[in-house]
């Protein structure tokens, strides 16, 4: 079998892992005599331990089982995202990359040693059941998640469509753990949704970075280019995806300069991605919405736009997943997943374990409004100018007639239920006024 590498592009979980193949020669290194002697000693020690365990362990364990356990332990101890993929794990990874699968619809990651929900995917069983970004998963059915890897957790959560599962979580602000009942479903992801606010503000929701994100966003921008005075890019609870799509999305708004770079142990792992003026579609003001569920590719986009001073970031600090994993097949049915590099934003700052900080921090929630039922307006006066009122009322009726199909429109009532989005709209208005 050819020795090839399958690169995953820095996701917060393996749920959307996808990549490309390249030669194994990039890891080639000529060992010194001292290195060779040290390596032989280490291998001798390893072989001796394997032999002792095989001979004296209380339970009969085969050499194959011992090797799998050794590989699993070694990979787990490197970092939270590296691991050994058995035949079953490797097959599941390939299922995950197909774009449609049975499960809950959440992406998970390790945060401070705990299995944490990065984000529920829009309109999936987990989203409808009420799982939220930041929830810590204590149990999956009756199994504790302590010392469990991400892939083991994903394996337990995946199952037949229609089968129920109970997830026990710890949530900030709740006095005791919550048990959430979820019924597994087919997980398909629609990555780009667009709506209009106040006729001239384009709202684009990007749920994940699949292979068509940049194309779909460009299509929405071009469709409404003549009337758009500002764009709100919603990356909240977006767990990441393809690196090239993140780069292409930034390129739509930025005409020159570095977008992101990756640096690894070897020079051959280093990459730099830059903007091109030919790909830039718009220069209208941009606001990006982010939160703790924005990870990986979402952090690259928001961080790059922030560094280029091309957008105002609103919301909460992002997840902090800025590493590159590579899947290396070791047999036809087994592989290892290994972290080989970290991402860096145009300014040189890292995303890993730090995340991207918003320019304006806004906690989620509703806009509190107070109606004054005792206020008196001109229309309440006994002898008001009725003809003028009729004109106003007539206009109102026209507006209602125009807005019959509200599918692609965000109404003021919807805005009041999302204070982060409301803040973004207000910033766009202010930026549009300043720009003239």
5 close to 21: Cβ distance less than 8 angstroms: yes
Instruction: Give the dihedral of Cα atoms 284, 205, 363, 345; nearest 10 deg.
Output: -70
The band of 49, judged by pLDDT with boundaries at 50, 70 and 90, is: very high
The answer to whether 52 and 275 are in contact (CB under 8 A) is no
Q: Radius of gyration over alpha carbons of the chain, in Å? A: 26
The answer to whether 328 and 340 are in contact (CB under 8 A) is no
Contact yes or no for 113/129 (Cβ under 8 A):
no
24 — pLDDT class (breaks 50, 70, 90): very low
**Given a cut of 90, is residue 200 above it in pLDDT?**
yes
Q: Are 7 and 323 in contact (CB under 8 A)?
A: no
* 14 has pLDDT over 70: no
Instruction: Provide the pLDDT for residue 325.
Output: 84
Question: What was the pLDDT predicted at 375?
Answer: 63
- pLDDT tens digits for range 358-404: 999 999 998 887 666 566 666 666 665 555 545 555 554 444 444 44
Provide the 10 A C-beta neighbour count for residue 10.
30
pTM > 0.75: no
Q: Would the pLDDT of 6 be above 80?
A: no
pLDDT at 219 exceeding the cut of 80: yes
Mind listing the pLDDT tens digit for each residue in 407-434?
689 999 999 989 999 999 999 999 988 8
Longest pairwise C-alpha distance within the chain: 103
C-beta contacts of 44-51 below 8 A and 24+ residues apart: 46/70
Which pLDDT value is given to residue 373? 58
The pLDDT score that the predictor gives to residue 81 is 85
Which token pair is 403?
């807005």
- Does residue 23 register a pLDDT over 80? no
Residue 298's CB: how many other CB atoms inside 10 A?
34
Say yes or no to pLDDT of 301 above 70: yes
In the prediction, which pLDDT does 100 show? 55
Over the chain, what is the mean pLDDT? Answer: 85
Residues 57-95: tens digit of each pLDDT: 999 999 999 999 999 999 999 998 899 999 888 877 766
Residue 134 pLDDT > 60, yes or no?
yes
Answer whether 327's CB lies under 8 Å from 335's CB.
yes
pLDDT at residue 206, rounded to an integer: 96
Model confidence at 121, pLDDT cuts 50, 70, 90, reads confident
Q: Which two tokens stand for residue 307?
A: 């560094």
Known catalytic residues are 296, 307, 321
- Residue 188, strand partner residues: 100
Q: What's the pLDDT tens digit per position in 153-186?
A: 988 998 888 999 999 999 999 999 999 999 999 8
**What structural domains does the chain harbor?**
101-188 (2.30.42.10), 192-322+342-361 (3.90.226.10)
Sign for the pseudo-dihedral over CA of 352, 357, 358, 361 = positive
Convert the pLDDT of each residue in 320-359 to its tens digit.
Answer: 999 988 889 999 999 999 998 999 999 999 999 999 999 9
Residue 1 has pLDDT above 50, yes or no: no
pLDDT at 20: 31
**pLDDT band with cut points at 50, 70 and 90 for residue 190:** confident
- Closest Cα partner for 221 from 200, 202, 246? 202
When pLDDT is averaged across residues 117-142 and rounded to a whole number, the result is 91
Going by the DSSP 8-state scheme, the letter that residue 245 receives in this structure is: H
Instruction: Give the per-residue pLDDT at 160.
Output: 84
Residue with the larger pLDDT of the pair 133 and 260: 260
Q: What totals of helices (H) and strands (E) does the chain contain, helices first?
A: 11, 22
Q: Are 176 and 208 in contact (CB under 8 A)?
A: no
CA dihedral 382, 385, 390, 395 (to 10 degrees): -120
Q: In this structure, what DSSP letter does residue 12 have?
A: S
CA-nearest of 320, 324, 343 to 262 is 343
Banded pLDDT at 32 (limits 50, 70, 90): confident
Q: What is the Cβ-side half-sphere exposure of residue 303, based on CA atoms within 13 angstroms?
A: 33
What's the pLDDT score for residue 386? Answer: 59
Q: DSSP letters of 352-389?
A: TTT----SEE--S-PPP----TT---GGGSTT--HHHH
Q: What is residue 370's predicted lDDT score, i.e. its pLDDT?
A: 66
């Amino acid at each position: 079998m050819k020795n090839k590498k399958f690169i995953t592009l820095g996701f917060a979980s393996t749920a959307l892992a996808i990549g490309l193949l390249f030669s194994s020669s990039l890891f080639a290194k000529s060992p010194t005599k001292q290195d060779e002697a040290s390596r032989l000693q280490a291998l001798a020690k390893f072989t001796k331990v394997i032999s002792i365990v095989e001979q004296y362990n209380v339970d009969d364990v085969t050499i194959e089982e011992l090797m799998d356990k050794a590989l699993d332990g070694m990979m787990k101890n490197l970092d939270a995202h590296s691991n050994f993929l058995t035949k079953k794990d490797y097959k599941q990874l390939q299922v995950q990359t197909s774009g449609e699968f049975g499960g809950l619809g959440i992406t998970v990651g390790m945060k401070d040693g705990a299995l944490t929900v990065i984000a529920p995917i829009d309109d999936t069983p987990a989203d409808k059941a009420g799982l939220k970004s930041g929830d810590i998963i204590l149990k999956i059915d009756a199994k504790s998640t302590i010392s469990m890897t991400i892939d083991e957790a994903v394996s337990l959560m995946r199952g037949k469509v229609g089968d129920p599962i109970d997830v026990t979580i710890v949530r900030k602000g709740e006095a005791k753990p919550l048990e959430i009942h979820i019924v597994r479903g087919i997980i398909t992801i629609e990555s780009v949704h667009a709506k209009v606010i106040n006729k001239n503000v384009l709202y684009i929701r990007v749920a994940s970075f699949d292979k068509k994100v940049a194309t779909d966003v460009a299509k929405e921008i071009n469709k409404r280019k003549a009337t758009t005075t500002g764009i709100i890019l919603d990356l909240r609870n977006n767990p990441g995806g393809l690196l090239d799509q993140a780069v292409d999305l930034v390129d739509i708004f930025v005409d020159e300069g570095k977008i992101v770079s990756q640096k690894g142990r070897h020079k051959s792992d280093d990459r730099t991605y830059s903007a091109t003026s030919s790909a830039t579609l718009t220069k209208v003001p941009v606001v990006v919405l982010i939160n703790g569920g924005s990870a990986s590719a979402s952090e690259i986009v928001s961080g790059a736009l922030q560094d280029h001073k091309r957008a105002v970031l609103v919301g909460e600090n992002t997840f902090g997943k800025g590493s590159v994993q590579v899947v290396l097949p070791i047999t036809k049915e087994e592989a290892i997943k290994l972290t080989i590099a970290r991402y860096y934003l145009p300014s040189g700052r890292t995303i890993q374990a730090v995340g991207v900080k918003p320019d304006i921090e806004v906690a989620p929630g509703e806009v509190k409004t107070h109606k004054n039922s005792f206020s008196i307006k001109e229309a309440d006066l006994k002898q008001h100018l009725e003809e003028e009122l009729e004109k106003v009322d007539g206009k109102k009726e026209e507006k209602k007639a125009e807005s019959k199909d509200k599918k692609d429109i965000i109404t003021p009532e919807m805005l009041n239920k999302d204070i982060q989005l409301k803040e973004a709209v207000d910033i766009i208005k202010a930026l549009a006024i300043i720009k003239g």
